[in-house]
Structure 1
Amino acid sequence: MAKLAFLGLGVMGAPMAGHLKAAGHDVTVFNRTRSKAGDWVARHGGAWAETPRQAAEGAEFVLCCVGNDDDLRQVCLGPDGAFAGMQPGAIFVDHTTVSAAVTRELARAARDLGLGYVDAPVSGGQAGAENGQLSVMCGGSGADFDAAAPVIDAYARICRRMGDVGAGQITKMCNQIAIAGLVQALSESLAFAKKSGLEVEKVVEVISQGAAGSWQMANRHKTMDAGQFDHGFAVDWMRKDLAICLAAADEVGASLPVTALVDQFYKDVQRMGGGRWDTSSLIARLG
């Protein structure tokens, strides 16, 4: 078992760190809100640290799941950052969904210090984190990935190396692009069924067994029909991710017209006060 640090105890990070502790690893956690770190230790054991640097000292792997590019820089860099506490040969594993640009920037900084770096964004949402059933898409050297994969397996349904540093983030963008268009199509389908006088449950029972079936349909149609969105992945975070997708598309000359449109639909949801609603709330703007 390894000595680990885990930085960020939000709805994803807290259960992920819990799975690592349950697997027998020696885990020290850090969270900007100290009470969350204390609560986590009270529930799982292990220890908590005042700074990312203190959490990272002596760790073989430092794992991280925070909010955005700026959050990631903050926990990695500076005198209190994780990199300052890590020993040469240790590996930083980032589960945050961030830009490929900041990933490459931090990977260079890590490499200059003799550290390994794996970008490893996840898909599967809060339920996937709690159940240890996340899809993990990784970028980094083969050696760093091979070392980190057995640790990541504590909460992964599948964990794959997609290429060099940044490839994991690009793969996560592919994931978000696919979800955005799918949720909009599902929203239109369910709204159309209701306005046509059909029972949504019966419609879904039939069409989910054919080519229209999807995870979103199976897991979100009931709450969408009921107008319940106080769960899952927040619209604010989805807009953050789609902004990364659209910026990266401009860099490589890719066209994402549906993604750009759905991003504006999510902006409508934010204006409705739904920034913290689940992404399935796209149906709310259809009336």
Structure 2
Amino acid sequence: MKLAFLGLGVMGFPMAGHLKERGGHDVTVYNRTIARAEAWARRHGGAMAATPAAAAADADIVFACVGNDDDLRAVTTGEGGAFAGMKPGAVFVDHTTASAEVARELHARAREIGLGFVDAPVSGGQSGAENGVLGVMCGGDEDVYAKVEPVIAHYARACKLMGPVGSGQLTKMVNQICIAGLVQGLAEGIHFARKAGLDLERVMSVISKGAAQSWQMENRWKTMDEGKFDFGFAVDWMRKDLGICLAAARDSGARLPVTALVDQFYAEVQAMGGRRWDTSSLLARLDR
């Protein structure tokens, strides 16, 4: 298939690579910082374009993974946006973690001009993208989703249609709400174990085999104990995501007291200089 990928950050760069290497598809990429697109093209042998519209020209599916709602609007309906270059019947797949509102807005616009649209945020972090084992939660029409699912499979361990457009973003909010509480709980557990004089490695070797086990525990407790946070999913990104969750909760009447509290804890980490630290840096504010 002829594909385009817009946004080559820590997630998009390897995802686009899997489409080319694993899938064998004809991939054209676009990135706001052109050097990043040039690096991708050198590594994977694909093409690059100067605008989203040029990248999307004649593509069967256009993928995007950018920063936020405004970035997404810029690469779709802004000047030189992808929607202007896409052929009728093509599908736009958005992997950005954004609001459900912008997904519905762009879906409506896409339908007006004869395009398909799927909101498809991902979970699994940079390592999941690099290893091609992401979880992808999608919102869209069943027939449109059926066209893109086999292609998404090149970098996904799990991909599922959650409901109509916007449902993927709402599911990603559930994901982030759960992670926020888990990481805070893990940080407090490690902090308590240290203060109690316990051997943390022994503690984790036992509790990670029981009901307390989580991906965060398995993959983060050692780096947390070592005070290493200069990697992974940045605090700035998590605060962006939690802001989306809290706004959606206000609209729906859902109550998220723990999420709101953890969001403020992340604000403290930002104030400590940890804007780009991994989300596991919640421990750092307890260790001050």
Unaligned runs of 5+ in 1: none
**Superposition deviation, residue 79 in structure 1:** 3.8
**1:4 aligned onto 2:8:** no
Identity of aligned residues (%): 69
Unaligned runs of 5+ in 2: none
- Structure 2 match to 1:35: 35
**1:168 aligned onto 2:168:** yes
**Superposition deviation, residue 78 in structure 1:** 2.9
1:54-93 correspondence runs (5 A): 54-93=54-93
- Structure 2 match to 1:128: 128
**In the alignment, residue 7 of structure 1 is paired with which amino acid?**
L
**Superposition deviation, residue 231 in structure 1:** 1.0
- Structure 2 match to 1:117: 117
**Superposition deviation, residue 46 in structure 1:** 1.1
**1:262 aligned onto 2:262:** yes
1:214-225 correspondence runs (5 A): 214-225=214-225
**Secondary structure at the residue paired with 1:263?**
helix
**Superposition deviation, residue 238 in structure 1:** 0.2
**Secondary structure at the residue paired with 2:27?**
strand
Distance in structure 2 (CA, Å) of the matches to 1:217 and 1:202: 13
Distance in structure 1 (CA, Å) of the matches to 2:183 and 2:274: 16
- Structure 2 match to 1:107: 107
**In the alignment, residue 169 of structure 1 is paired with which amino acid?**
Q
**In the alignment, residue 37 of structure 2 is paired with which amino acid?**
A
- Structure 1 match to 2:245: 245
Distance in structure 2 (CA, Å) of the matches to 1:3 and 1:204: 47
- Structure 2 match to 1:139: 139
Distance in structure 1 (CA, Å) of the matches to 2:99 and 2:79: 23
Distance in structure 1 (CA, Å) of the matches to 2:71 and 2:196: 46
Distance in structure 2 (CA, Å) of the matches to 1:124 and 1:255: 26
**In the alignment, residue 210 of structure 2 is paired with which amino acid?**
G
**In the alignment, residue 96 of structure 2 is paired with which amino acid?**
T
Distance in structure 1 (CA, Å) of the matches to 2:172 and 2:201: 31
**Secondary structure at the residue paired with 2:92?**
strand
- Structure 1 match to 2:20: 21
- Structure 2 match to 1:234: 234
**Secondary structure at the residue paired with 1:117?**
strand
Query: What do you get for the CA RMSD once the two structures are aligned?
Result: 0.5
**In the alignment, residue 119 of structure 1 is paired with which amino acid?**
D
Under a length normalisation based on structure 2, what TM-score does the superposition of the two structures give? 0.99
Distance in structure 1 (CA, Å) of the matches to 2:132 and 2:208: 26
1:271-286 correspondence runs (5 A): 271-286=271-286
**Superposition deviation, residue 200 in structure 1:** 1.1
Show CA shifts across 1:224-248 (max 9, x none).
0000001110000000000000000
Distance in structure 2 (CA, Å) of the matches to 1:163 and 1:105: 16
Distance in structure 1 (CA, Å) of the matches to 2:214 and 2:243: 24
Show CA shifts across 1:210-259 (max 9, x none).
10011000000000000000111000000000000000001111000000
Show CA shifts across 1:128-147 (max 9, x none).
00000000000000011000
The aligned length equals 286
Distance in structure 2 (CA, Å) of the matches to 1:69 and 1:35: 24
**Secondary structure at the residue paired with 1:154?**
coil
Distance in structure 1 (CA, Å) of the matches to 2:98 and 2:79: 22
Distance in structure 2 (CA, Å) of the matches to 1:188 and 1:269: 15
**Superposition deviation, residue 282 in structure 1:** 0.2
Under a length normalisation based on structure 1, what TM-score does the superposition of the two structures give? 0.99
